[in-house]
Structure formats: structure tokens, C-alpha cells
């Protein structure tokens, strides 16, 4: 299965999120080879079909620290998961026995580390719920029961307080 390569970034003009390709240039055009301007620009380039004057493509300057890559995964509600998203993950305990397993829920932040997208735990550890606690978990694990994007680290940094 192929993963769609796309990014999002928060506009430094209107504060909205833009989704598309990430282009880093040395001027305010989409020409990555022009190096006359000393300032570096970070842009999200996206397709806007009705805009015929620009050939259908628009670009939006974004705050570099907010640029996040799409993981290729969707949460249980069909929402795309990006780096920097705060995700509530339901984990099935391998110690559970019975017909209807009851997951426990952990708040995590999606990160990219050493060539993989990972969930990094931000909820405090709870020895009563699972004998082995974890800090990092690959996003494609068999015991992950459910996922739900809650927010992201740029819009609600206060959710990282559990870290």
C-alpha cells in the first residue's frame, strides 16, 4: 500500500492550517534554485481548482516549526494523523482473558524518529492497568485497538503537561 506524501503547516499570515506539498525556497517565489534573497521561506503549495490565474496552484507561507508530515494513517473517525498530533490510543492488554477485552487509553504525541512514525506516551504510567508500561510504540502495533486525534502540539501545547 502506498502512502500519500503530504504536509501541513500553519500560515504565518492568517494562522490557518494549509495542506499540500512542502517547498523551502530562498525567495518568495516557488523557484527553489533562485538564491538572490537572503531570507528563507517555508511554503505549503496546494491545488485550488477555481484559481485559473495561478494555474490552479496556490502557495501559503507557513511557520517552519509547524510543518508536519502525514503519517499515511487515519484515526477511527477517518481523520488524517500527522506528526505533532496528540492522539488518544486504546491499547488491548496482552494479560487480558475473556470475551470482551476492555482497552485502556493513553494520550500520545505522534513523532518521527529513526525512520519510523511512533506514538510517544504523554499520559502518566499506570502500573494497575498493564504490567509493562512503554514510552514509544510503533504506530502499526497489533494491540492498538483504537485511535482518536484529539488536537496537536501547536494548537494546544498545554496537553503535553503529562509528559
Residue 146 to residue 87: CA distance in whole angstroms: 10
**Grid coordinates belonging to 23:** 517547498
Backbone phi, psi, residue 65, to 5° = -70, -15
**Grid coordinates belonging to 15:** 494562522
Q: Comparing C-alpha atoms, which of 89, 94, 95 is closest to residue 145?
A: 89
Give the other-Cβ count within 10 Å of 73's Cβ. Answer: 16
Residue 54 to residue 7: CA distance in whole angstroms: 21
What are the pLDDT tens digits along the chain (163 aa)? 577 889 999 998 899 999 999 988 776 555 556 555 556 778 878 776 655 555 667 888 899 999 999 998 999 999 999 999 999 998 876 655 556 667 788 899 999 998 889 999 998 877 666 556 778 888 877 677 889 999 999 998 888 775 4
Write down the pTM of the prediction.
Answer: 0.79
What is the torsion angle, in degrees rounded to the nearest 10, for the CA atoms of residue 34, residue 38, residue 42 and residue 45? Answer: -30
Amino acid at each position: 500500500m502506498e502512502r500519500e506524501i503530504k504536509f501541513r503547516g500553519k500560515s504565518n499570515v492568517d494562522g490557518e492550517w494549509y495542506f499540500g506539498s512542502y517547498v523551502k525556497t530562498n525567495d518568495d517565489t516557488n523557484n527553489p534554485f533562485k538564491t538572490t534573497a537572503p531570507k528563507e521561506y517555508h511554503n505549503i503549495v496546494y491545488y485550488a481548482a477555481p484559481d485559473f490565474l495561478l494555474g490552479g496552484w496556490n502557495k501559503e507561507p507557513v511557520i517552519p516549526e509547524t510543518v508536519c508530515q502525514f503519517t499515511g494513517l487515519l484515526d477511527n473517525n477517518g481523520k488524517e494523523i500527522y506528526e505533532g498530533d496528540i492522539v488518544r490510543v486504546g491499547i488491548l492488554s496482552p494479560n487480558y482473558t475473556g470475551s470482551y477485552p476492555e482497552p485502556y487509553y493513553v494520550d500520545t504525541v505522534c513523532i518521527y524518529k529513526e525512520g519510523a512514525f511512533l506514538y510517544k506516551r504523554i499520559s502518566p504510567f499506570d502500573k494497575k492497568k498493564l504490567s509493562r508500561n512503554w514510552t514509544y510504540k510503533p504506530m502499526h502495533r497489533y494491540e492498538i485497538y483504537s485511535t482518536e486525534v484529539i488536537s496537536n502540539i501547536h494548537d494546544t501545547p498545554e496537553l503535553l503537561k503529562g509528559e
